[in-house]
Amino acid sequence: MIRLINLLIGLLVVVLQITLVNLVAIFNVKPDLVIIFVVARALLDGATGGVLWGFGLGLLLDALSGGLMGLGSLAYSLAGFISGRIGADKIPGQPHFFVALLLSSILAHGLFLYFGQPWKEIGLLSPLLKQYLPGVLYTLILGFIWIISPFAPFREGKRRGR
Amino acid sequence: MAGILDRIRLEVLEPWIALGLAVMLSLLLMATSETPTMDSARVHLTGVVQIFARPLSLVPTILSLRSESNRLREENARLKIEVVTAQESLSENDRLRRMLDFRTRSNLSLQAAKVIGKDPLPGVRSLLIGAGSASGLRKNLAVISDRGLIGKVARAGSHSAIVQLLTDRNVGAAVRLANCRADGITSWSGGSRLMIEGVVSSEPVKLGEEVITSSLDGVFPAGILVGQVIRTQRAEENLFLEIEIEPEVNFSAIEEVFVVREGAYPLLP
């Protein structure tokens, strides 16, 4: 039952990402709710769970995009794996979440930058400054707000919502 | 003892095996991204998600109702004035057309659709719209707004479709500069601007010149406004001009689109 609820939450996050998140976009830069969800699930479920969540939700986003199939699943699988390894053998807390989110965002958004932007023609600096760094920063800020909120699953070294 | 060691080994290896499989499957998907089977799978997944996304897509509409109402009132007042001018021009146009025996341009057959989702992945510019093959949509049909060209249909499900924007690195439109009549192809230059490639440096391109579709690509009908030239650069060692254009459409604020259905392409002017 809990797995089904988590699955529905995952689907809701994807739907929110393509609909309402556009309302909070600043200069076309928006936070990545999906990576926040994948990182949180990976810390709670471990690296294998993180890879599965990342692959599944990434695949769904790939299907919804007109771009290269497999790019989202690759990026979010890696994010889930890294986050799961950071949380391995310890009870994950807020610092683990933040570090995992930072590293995962840098890696996943880096892949999107590499495959999605015409950087070979225009150079790396412009997409890096206009899309990549603001996107990572916006995601970190939203992740930070969520992690200090009462809805976050990590509290003083205790696991919740497994 | 051996059993415990095996279990520990499996626990250590399990995430790596999962990652390896995920990476391999992703790479396989990348390699087979454009096959008909994959297209069909994507269409079905899109159909499922659009059921959930459709109600949420109403939220931005509700939030923007007040400003939209004010904007429409202003536009209404402006249009009333323009209608009078247009009627005069129309009668003059009809008269001249008869005189010159011009062939009438066929009207575009349009299907309106609401945007129900945007940009699923960072850096991949696309829209999810609420009309599909049931409304006559299919792959590669042109998508426009009341201001100009937006992109093309990448995939069409029964009640939804994915639209690739001009600001996607994989989309290019055959265009013509309205004054000097030079042909080129658009490409995304990052951000909200587009470049035009393939215009030879001897062409007298001017700043502010309008750019329209030429229909030479067989995808986009002729005469749709794409944008205006905002920068040109001639390099001595380069045969071609570097032309940057500002698109007429604000790609980050699209709420409704029109899909140009098959068999309605106008003749080239």
- What is the pLDDT confidence band of residue A39, given thresholds at 50, 70 and 90? very high
* Domain boundaries along the sequence of chain A: 2-159
- What is the pLDDT confidence band of residue B8, given thresholds at 50, 70 and 90? low
Q: What is the pLDDT of residues B76-99, one digit of tens each?
A: 777 876 776 777 777 777 766 665
- What is the pLDDT confidence band of residue B264, given thresholds at 50, 70 and 90? very low
Look up the CATH number of domain A2-159: 1.10.1760
Q: Across chain A, what does the average pLDDT equal?
A: 86
Cα radius of gyration rounded to whole Å, chain A: 15
Which of residues B84 and B195 earns the better pLDDT score? B195
Nearest to A51 among B22, B27, B28 (CB): B22
pLDDT of residue B74: 74
Q: What is the pLDDT of residues A144-153, one digit of tens each?
A: 999 888 877 7
Which of residues B186 and A66 earns the better pLDDT score? B186
Which of residues B196 and A89 earns the better pLDDT score? B196
The Cα A151–Cα B94 span in angstroms is 66
A19, B53: Cβ pair inside 8 Å? yes
Residue B161 DSSP code: E
**Domains of chain B, each with CATH number or no CATH:** 59-169+252-260 (2.40.10.340), 174-249 (2.40.10.350)
Question: Helix, strand, or coil here: A26?
Answer: strand
pLDDT of residue B121: 82
A64, B60: Cβ pair inside 8 Å? no
pLDDT of residue B5: 66
- Chain A interface includes B52 (CB < 8 A): yes
Do residues B93 and B243 lie in contact, with contact meaning Cβ atoms separated by under 8 Å? Answer: no
How many Cβ pairs closer than 8 A exist between chain A and B?
187
The Cα B29–Cα A74 span in angstroms is 10
Q: State mean pLDDT over A93-111.
A: 91
Residue B35, both tokens: 């096959």
- What is the pLDDT confidence band of residue B103, given thresholds at 50, 70 and 90? very low
Q: State mean pLDDT over B152-172.
A: 89
Number of residues assigned to chain B: 269
Q: Across chain B, what does the average pLDDT equal?
A: 81
Nearest CA of chain B to the CA of A94: how many Å? 23
Do residues B150 and B165 lie in contact, with contact meaning Cβ atoms separated by under 8 Å? Answer: yes
Count the Cβ atoms, other than its own, within 10 Å of residue B215: 21
| Res A41 pLDDT > 60 | yes
Nearest to A15 among B38, B52, B164 (CB): B52
| Res A42 pLDDT > 90 | yes
